[in-house]
Amino acid sequence: MPIQFASGRKVLIPIAAILFVALLPQLFFMLAVGKWYGSYFVSNYDEPAYSAYVNGLIHGEPRKHDPFLGLSDSPTTPQPETLYSIQFIPAYAIAVPARVLGVSVSTAFILLAAFIAIFSAIVIYILLFSATEDGLLATVGPIIVLCFGTALALQGELRVLIDGRVLADFLPFLRRYQPGFAFPLFFVFCLLFYKAANRETTKATVTFAIGAGVVFAILVFSYFYLWTAAAAWLACFAIIYLIVRRSQSRNVLIAAGVVAGFAAIVLVPYFSLLSQRSVNLDSVQLLDLTRMPQFDSPSMIVGLIVAAAAIVVSRRSGEPFGSSLILLLSLALTPVILFNQQVITGRSLQPVHYELFIANYMVLTAAVMLIGVLKPDRTSEKRNRFLVYLAIAAFAWGSFESFTSANRSMTVAEIRDGSLPAIRAAAADKSRKQVIVATNFVTADIIPSVPNAVSFWNAHTSSAGGIGVEENKRRFYRYLYFAGYTGQEVNEALRAKSFEVTAAIFGGERALPVLSSGTNEITESEITAEAANYAAFVKTFSAGEAYASPLDHIIAPSESETTFENLDRWYTRDQGQEFGLFRLYRLTPKK
């Protein structure tokens, strides 16, 4: 019996598959943990930073606030622009409904994962069906694209199997809220512009182009890597169209002009805000000044193969280049621009983000379309079974990615969730924002996602550019001092390549070289020198350091052998309160 799907319901198949894979870590955690205190399952290292910023918006903080330092923008304390405040649309789109509904940022982030999964599956389905009019291809396509994305970037479980390391796992497009919220909007932009290029009337072309322009404007204030990828794709699509269908390029030129008009309008305020950014932001974001081309991107290599195969098949068939083939080629070739634009601009900003968050998914979308080009006979039972089996394999791999990454992060998730009662108790004092020291990095990172709580230091303290690299390093030293770390323990953490310790002392680019090109490996002598520097810092610690940013509470594991010798020199601790895994102490300065 031929494989068929009811036309009105087939989109439910990819929706159900991606929704299951997206929510599996959260469900797995909630079932596994003894008592759940309401935390969202963190699937990416940077998610706590985003939830901290959104938490502030939910509770009335202005757009330009720094949740990591507890700073709010006001006439007396003006704050610079940050990548959080400039890329504000996703944050407000999450915060405003959360405030209206009265839900926490954790609940909002759980619901957001479901929204991203559903919206992404629907949009990719519509894009594929619009381009191919192949119901089966459009049905299985979102599953293949979204579940194989991590593997195509040579990350996740495939990277673990290859060399035991992992930069990013799970499904990167689901990272909340960057790029998650705006990720499907990238494909909406492609869909609207593609439709604009293929309308029969100028009015219809302009209408769809206006829609594409509006979406582009939203992308600009949503995520840098998505709006720049959208601009690169549009350029690639238009250039290919002008080359192979010059006589029919009127619609493309009109649509490109409309989108360019929107771009001109929104990029003026965008760059104005960017010019007001913190002086520390460029160093924090690891901006490279280079013109070296990049040839080792897995997405770019696969994209070139897909494009070459499509051209060969098209030439052999003798059919002219249709608009769907142009869409395929543009999606496959855009990574060449994304990973080599620095040859012209002289600037490269962590291109690995293109690899993880958009280029891989563009290329996979093109690869799914290529299957339709290679096997155009939709009545072929062999071809259709291949598509179904490929989708099943993709779903199985996506589920494997989801489960194994969740299992790997389970202990950390339990620590994070178990920290919440103690953090909430500390934040109950509404007289002012409570400054909290947590002796473990996991608890420290989630503190700003609780209302009225500020972490004295965590791994994202400098991410908003509120403090520079050296100031962050000194603040980290103070954190280590209060948390009871010795010089020997710092030495051991550096040798063990603890990311938090290494990044705070040597910078993120040296702790994770893939983020920036041309970084030098950390040497043994540097490790020894920095451990000695910290030991000297401990010996010369003064009241000025102790009270520069007064502490209100410290959270430590209940059953650990935490030493409070350093802290007790400057602060008085109360008797403490037990909260499951942790003990909370209120601090009073001795000065």
Nearest to 440 by CA among 578, 530, 549, 554: 554
What is the C-alpha separation between 572 and 586, in angstroms, rounded? Answer: 8
Determine the pLDDT at residue 3: 42
Cβ atoms within 10 Å of 1's Cβ, excluding its own: 4
Tens-place pLDDT, residues 275-304 = 998 877 766 555 666 778 888 899 999 999
Q: What b-and-e string marks burial along 203-216, b requiring 16 or more CB atoms within 10 Å of the CB?
A: eebbbbbbbbbbbb
Amino acid letter, residue 330: S
What crossing angle do the helices spanning 224-244 and 202-220 adopt, rounded to 10°? 150
What token pair was written down for 210?
């206006």
Share of the chain above pLDDT 90, in %: 72
What is the C-alpha separation between 120 and 172, in angstroms, rounded? Answer: 13
In the chain, where are the structural domains located?
A: 12-38+104-408, 412-589
Determine the pLDDT at residue 284: 59
Determine the pLDDT at residue 440: 92
Determine the pLDDT at residue 463: 85
Cβ atoms within 10 Å of 261's Cβ, excluding its own: 13
Q: Please enumerate, as own/partner, the contacts of 158-163 that have beta carbons within 8 Å and a separation of 24 or more.
A: 160/404
Nearest to 129 by CA among 187, 183, 205: 187
Under the banding of pLDDT at 50, 70 and 90, the label for residue 519 is low
**In sequence order, what are the residues at sequence separation of 6 or more whose Cβ sits closer than 8 angstroms to the Cβ of residue 263?**
213, 216, 217, 220, 231
- With beta carbons less than 8 A apart as the criterion, state whether 55 and 451 touch: yes
What is the C-alpha separation between 129 and 368, in angstroms, rounded? Answer: 11
> Kind of pairing, strands 434-438 and 453-455?
parallel
The whole-chain average pLDDT of the chain stands at: 91
- What is the helix (H) or strand (E) element at residue 71, kind and residue range? strand 71-72
DSSP output for 441-459: HHHHHHGGGSTTEEESS-T
Share of the chain above pLDDT 70, in %: 95
What is the C-alpha separation between 214 and 216, in angstroms, rounded? Answer: 5
Under the banding of pLDDT at 50, 70 and 90, the label for residue 163 is confident
What integer is the mean pLDDT of 236-252?
89
Residue 212 has pLDDT above 70, yes or no: yes
Determine the pLDDT at residue 1: 35
What integer is the mean pLDDT of 509-527?
76
Place of tokens 């959104």: 54
Per DSSP, helices labelled H in 409-542 are: 410-426, 441-446, 469-483, 487-495, 499-506, 508-511, 524-539
- With beta carbons less than 8 A apart as the criterion, state whether 64 and 85 touch: yes
**In sequence order, what are the residues at sequence separation of 6 or more whose Cβ sits closer than 8 angstroms to the Cβ of residue 296?**
none
Determine the pLDDT at residue 516: 60
Residue 4 has pLDDT above 60, yes or no: no
Helix (H), strand (E) counts: the chain: 27, 10
Tens-place pLDDT, residues 443-456 = 999 999 999 999 99
Under the banding of pLDDT at 50, 70 and 90, the label for residue 218 is very high
What integer is the mean pLDDT of 461-487?
89
**In sequence order, what are the residues at sequence separation of 6 or more whose Cβ sits closer than 8 angstroms to the Cβ of residue 540?**
none
What integer is the mean pLDDT of 353-368?
96
Determine the pLDDT at residue 318: 64
Residue 497 has pLDDT above 90, yes or no: no
Under the banding of pLDDT at 50, 70 and 90, the label for residue 109 is very high
Determine the pLDDT at residue 2: 43
Tens-place pLDDT, residues 269-282 = 999 999 998 877 76
